[in-house]
A and B are shown apart, each in its own frame.
Chain A
Amino acid sequence: MYDYTIIGAGIIGSLIARELSKYDLNVLVLEKENDVANVQTRANSAIVHSGHDPQYGTLKAKLSVLGNKLYDDLEKDLHISLLKTGAYVCAHDKDEEDILNDLYENAKLNKVNDMEFLNLSQAQLSEPNLSDDITKVLSLPTTKVCFPWEVAFFALENAINNGVELIRNSEIISIDHKNDIYILKDQNDQIYESKAIINAAGVYSDDIKDMIEDDAPFKITPRKGEYFVLDKSVRGFINHVLYPLPSKKGKGVLVTPQVHGNILLGPTSELVDDKGSISTSKTGLTYIKQHVTALAKNIPFELIIRSFAGVRATSTYKDFYIKESTSHKGFYHVAGIDSPGITAAPAIAKYLVDEIIKIKLPIKDSFTPTIAKKIVFNHLTKEEKIKKQKENPLYGRIICKCEHITEQEIIDAIHGPLGSDTIKGIKKRARAGSGICQGGYCESLIVKIIARETNKDLTQVDYDQKNTPILYKETKVSS
């Protein structure tokens, strides 16, 4: 019997798990995917917004401004990567300047700090590639960029260290509520019993809700966003997050520097019927190229190394829906978490636990808020590298040449607390294959390392999902 069961191990579920792990409780996290942070958390802009955009008075406004601050704590405790970029919101004419002024007033009400207006020449001093068509810029210095998968991984790892249990490949198909106990059944007919449930199922949160109650205070109306990734050799081309003016569809097509030096261009914003559709489209990709030039000139499109799409869990409720079910006590919905969801995530977790659930327990003595710093070998000093390589020679063999990822880092990713045995899983953890050749050289080496470390045949090493081996069959075998 669990005290709390969290459905969904994205960045929201993971941070809630960490928040609950402070207390003497039995906490379970169920994830339908074979990996943590595999859906909405995997594909987004990674921005920790300053909180300028959500309308004053909304939960989105409150939690994004708070969440932005809490990222500094996560950086200290979990050693997450955080890039303190600042942001420029760009207006192009008098009408847009008026909207920019309104945005400034809204941001002031939201208590966003240190904002200022710049004219084009002032802004171009720090961003020479800013488009010459821009007339006025709102500078938002508190804007940052994180690495969302890493935030989810590290938060959940910290939660697990503090006693939380994680089960992957568990998709909930039914929920019963009897005698104040929730009975969850997954697709493998596994049964889990829990006193309380937290629905952090992202784009599937309304499906989970529908399993327990009929009246529908929210419905997910998924929006797809497509992106381009520029190779990290673009580093320094733009150093701030660049926003056009927000519209009804969202924050528009942005230029966003990433923690590893890449730059994202996007997203588009299209309503979709299929929650699982993460396909890109010719129309979407063309749209990005056309619109992003309003923000920056000389964009090196030839450095595009990848395009991707993600689906965000926009809901009919128009704000984050973080409430206890009216009909089922102890069932909490954390739904409709679209932009600025990444930003608000740490604040959402606190808000849920402190203000909605209102846990009154003392923080347990054994709770440790920190995890050990992960080794990114390429970031070490010369002396640290030599020391590490003496302890473990596999830090000397470079597997991914583009990102300088060593064999030991790949082994660590396979066997780590939230280990993985898929090519995408290793890429998410160790960045092997994320560079300009996209695994063209290292993938075959990684397949062999995974097979060796997990005692599998090469044909059993999956690409991403279950039963997706990249090698179909061995050719020279006698049968």
Chain B
Amino acid sequence: MKDIYDITIVGGGAAGLSAALEAYDPNIKLLIIERDQIFGGILNQCIHNGFGLHVFKEELTGPEYAQKLIDSVIKKNIEYILDTTVVDIKKEDIFTLTVSNIEHGEFEIKSKTIILTSGCYERSRGQISIPGDRPKGIMTAGSAQRYLNMDGYLVGKEIFILGSGDIGLIMARRMTLEGAHVLGVAELMPFSNGLTRNVVQCLNDFDIPLYLSHTVTDVVGKESLEAITIQEVDKDYNFIEGTQKTFKVDTLLLSVGLIPDVKLFESIAIDIDPLTKSAYVNQALETSIEGLFVCGNALHVHDLVDDVTIESQKAGRSAKKYILDAKKDKACKKVVDFDQLIRYIVPQSIDFNNLSQDVDLSFRTSKKIEKATFVVEQNGKIIKEVKAKYIVPAEMQKIKLSPSDFISKDDLYIHVKEMS
């Protein structure tokens, strides 16, 4: 590995593979690094279906979706290394990745650009400070999913789930089908944090109660989990006395949020958006470090793998353009600003000197809204309006802007106009 790669992709999940396929060019030296022994990332443990409707126009399981990408990567002869962890990234003129594996130990890889697709991790019990004992029997829904779907082991028989994220909902169904008893799902917000279809198909269809505006307030069990208590909260998240309910369970699964895993950024000074907890990017998905691109769940958490693929294709195209285009504009970054009904927007900035492709704004609202218009303004003038209905924070919203939509090179402002 003494050569210099043009593009190195960190991560061989949906984002990494999709970016690689799009970045592929016979004149580009491309490498994918994956820490697991197989490609596919989290798709491998998502054995339920519902993937691929947008990208492949068919309904696939997670492993099937991954396999389609893997087959294409193999067919194109794209170079890759598996069972290899990236431990550090540094940049001087070009990037140096320090990586480690059994075959070579720790070694360095040089690359002109990097596409970081390191995915996300699940918030743990500690991060949300659930009080009580700390027995065995509490884990994230994703961990339980991995044990069940990849290793073939159930983690318990009497289950309660905190958080109505999609993984939690899907595990409620999955564990029921494997013979466990799911007593309920509690959600702090007054609405589910998962896709509506998952609430219907995973809870309603199996008569699993969803306790909205509830959270876990106690955990009991010195060695093994014995019981949990949930309690209702008011609209300011204060606990309502007298609403405690106790469930005798041996397992508490947590589906309380996913956080982009951008730990590698610690050794490379990159601008971070406190809202997404990931990199601040422009419409090419390029970070504040020239030549470093981020996409997929490492950039912000997506609802659908199809969205991950589409976004990662964009990152792949951007990196390819960066390598193949001799002319590199100096980035002129303009900010995308928004009102408080919007939780975050990606990309956070637009490079108006480099506006060759569409700008895809992805965002989430901060509350449930029946009916609204999303308004994009520049210089106080409306340049785009998009109407939407039944808007929930759990479902990502999108606005596409073509280069001709812009009337200047000034900041954008996006706001939500609620309709009654």
Give the B-binding residues of A (Cβ under 8 A): 228-229, 233, 276, 278-282, 284-285, 304-308, 382, 385-386, 389-390, 393-398, 401-402, 404, 406, 436-441, 443-444, 448, 458-459, 462-476
Quick one: closest B residue to A279, CB to CB?
B133
- Besides A279-B133, A440-B140, 5 other A-B contacts (C-beta < 8 A): A279-B131, A280-B129, A395-B105, A437-B121, A463-B135
Inter-subunit contact B143/A475 (CB<8 Å): no
Inter-subunit contact B263/A475 (CB<8 Å): no
How far does the alpha carbon of A444 sit from the alpha carbon of B42 in the complex, in Å? 14
Q: Which residues of the other chain, B, contact A382 by a CB distance below 8 angstroms?
A: 106
Which of B105, B121, B220, B224 makes the CB contact (< 8 A) with A393? B105
Inter-subunit contact B223/A464 (CB<8 Å): yes
Inter-subunit contact B134/A386 (CB<8 Å): no
Quick one: closest A residue to B251, CB to CB?
A472
| CB-CB contacts below 8 Å: B84-138 with A | 85, 87, 100-106, 121-122, 124-127, 129, 131-137
How far does the alpha carbon of A471 sit from the alpha carbon of B129 in the complex, in Å? 24
Number of A-B contacts (CB under 8 A): 145
Nearest Cβ in chain B — how far from A477, in angstroms? 8
Q: Which residues of the other chain, A, contact B102 by a CB distance below 8 angstroms?
A: 393-394, 396-397
How far does the alpha carbon of A69 sit from the alpha carbon of B150 in the complex, in Å? 52
Q: Mark B218-262, 1 if CB is under 8 A from A, else 0.
A: 011011100000000000000000000000001100000000010
Q: Which residues of the other chain, A, contact B100 by a CB distance below 8 angstroms?
A: 396-398, 406
Inter-subunit contact A280/B154 (CB<8 Å): no
A-B contact pairs, 5 of them (CB 8 A): A285-B129, A439-B124, A440-B122, A444-B150, A471-B147
Inter-subunit contact A228/B129 (CB<8 Å): yes
Inter-subunit contact A468/B126 (CB<8 Å): no
Inter-subunit contact A307/B124 (CB<8 Å): no
Q: Say yes or no: is B155 at the interface (Cβ < 8 Å to chain A).
A: yes
Which of A281, A304, A404, A463 makes the CB contact (< 8 A) with B126? A304
Q: Which residues of the other chain, A, contact B132 by a CB distance below 8 angstroms?
A: 279-281
Given A228-B129, A279-B131, A463-B136, A438:B83 Cβ within 8 A: no
How far does the alpha carbon of A472 sit from the alpha carbon of B155 in the complex, in Å? 5
How far does the alpha carbon of A473 sit from the alpha carbon of B131 in the complex, in Å? 28
How far does the alpha carbon of A437 sit from the alpha carbon of B134 in the complex, in Å? 16
Quick one: closest A residue to B132, CB to CB?
A279
Inter-subunit contact B178/A475 (CB<8 Å): yes
Q: Which residues of the other chain, A, contact B126 by a CB distance below 8 angstroms?
A: 229, 304-307, 438
Q: Which residues of the other chain, B, contact A305 by a CB distance below 8 angstroms?
A: 124, 126-127
Q: Say yes or no: is B152 at the interface (Cβ < 8 Å to chain A).
A: yes
Inter-subunit contact B85/A304 (CB<8 Å): no
Inter-subunit contact A389/B105 (CB<8 Å): yes
How far does the alpha carbon of A467 sit from the alpha carbon of B135 in the complex, in Å? 12
Q: Say yes or no: is B151 at the interface (Cβ < 8 Å to chain A).
A: yes
Q: Which residues of the other chain, B, contact A402 by a CB distance below 8 angstroms?
A: 263
How far does the alpha carbon of A461 sit from the alpha carbon of B274 in the complex, in Å? 39
Quick one: closest B residue to A228, CB to CB?
B129
How far does the alpha carbon of A469 sit from the alpha carbon of B153 in the complex, in Å? 11
Inter-subunit contact B153/A281 (CB<8 Å): no
Given A285-B131, A401-B263, A458:B151 Cβ within 8 A: yes
Given A304-B129, A440-B121, A396:B103 Cβ within 8 A: yes
Q: State the main secondary structure of chain A at its contact with B.
A: mixed
Q: Say yes or no: is B317 at the interface (Cβ < 8 Å to chain A).
A: no
Q: Which residues of the other chain, B, contact A470 by a CB distance below 8 angstroms?
A: 136-137, 139, 147, 155
Quick one: closest A residue to B87, CB to CB?
A404
Inter-subunit contact B103/A278 (CB<8 Å): no
Quick one: closest B residue to A397, CB to CB?
B102
Given A233-B266, A393-B105, A475-B153, A468:B224 Cβ within 8 A: yes
| CB-CB contacts below 8 Å: B36-85 with A | 83, 85
Given A397-B100, A468-B136, A436:B152 Cβ within 8 A: no
| CB-CB contacts below 8 Å: B251-283 with A | 251, 261, 263, 266
Q: Which residues of the other chain, B, contact A401 by a CB distance below 8 angstroms?
A: 35, 85, 263
Quick one: closest B residue to A465, CB to CB?
B223
How far does the alpha carbon of A414 sit from the alpha carbon of B217 in the complex, in Å? 35
Q: Say yes or no: is B316 at the interface (Cβ < 8 Å to chain A).
A: no
Inter-subunit contact A438/B125 (CB<8 Å): yes
Q: Which 6 pairs, one residue from A and one from B, show the smallest C-beta to C-beta distance?
A: A389-B105, A463-B136, A306-B126, A438-B124, A398-B85, A471-B153
Q: Which residues of the other chain, A, contact B143 by a CB distance below 8 angstroms?
A: 439-440, 443-444
Given A307-B126, A463-B136, A464-B223, A396:B101 Cβ within 8 A: yes
Inter-subunit contact A474/B129 (CB<8 Å): no
Inter-subunit contact A436/B105 (CB<8 Å): no
How far does the alpha carbon of A249 sit from the alpha carbon of B137 in the complex, in Å? 34
Which of A282, A285, A389, A469 makes the CB contact (< 8 A) with B106? A389
Quick one: closest A residue to B136, CB to CB?
A463
How far does the alpha carbon of A402 sit from the alpha carbon of B85 in the complex, in Å? 11
Q: Say yes or no: is B157 at the interface (Cβ < 8 Å to chain A).
A: yes
How far does the alpha carbon of A282 sit from the alpha carbon of B135 in the complex, in Å? 17
How far does the alpha carbon of A462 sit from the alpha carbon of B137 in the complex, in Å? 11
Q: Which residues of the other chain, B, contact A307 by a CB distance below 8 angstroms?
A: 126, 129, 131
Which of B124, B131, B222 makes the CB contact (< 8 A) with A440? B124
How far does the alpha carbon of A406 sit from the alpha carbon of B35 in the complex, in Å? 13
Q: Which residues of the other chain, B, contact A385 by a CB distance below 8 angstroms?
A: 105-106
Q: Say yes or no: is B156 at the interface (Cβ < 8 Å to chain A).
A: yes
Name the residue among B134, B143, B151, B219 with the largest chain A CB count within 10 angstroms: B134
Inter-subunit contact A397/B83 (CB<8 Å): yes
Q: Say yes or no: is B168 at the interface (Cβ < 8 Å to chain A).
A: no
How far does the alpha carbon of A278 sit from the alpha carbon of B134 in the complex, in Å? 8
How far does the alpha carbon of A279 sit from the alpha carbon of B155 in the complex, in Å? 23
Inter-subunit contact A472/B222 (CB<8 Å): no
Quick one: closest A residue to B277, CB to CB?
A302
Q: Say yes or no: is B369 at the interface (Cβ < 8 Å to chain A).
A: no
Which of B122, B135, B137, B219 makes the CB contact (< 8 A) with A437? B122
How far does the alpha carbon of A471 sit from the alpha carbon of B134 in the complex, in Å? 17
Inter-subunit contact B154/A472 (CB<8 Å): yes
How far does the alpha carbon of A282 sit from the alpha carbon of B251 in the complex, in Å? 21
Given A396-B105, A397-B100, A468:B135 Cβ within 8 A: yes
Q: Which residues of the other chain, B, contact A386 by a CB distance below 8 angstroms?
A: 105-106
Nearest Cβ in chain B — how far from A191, in angstroms? 27
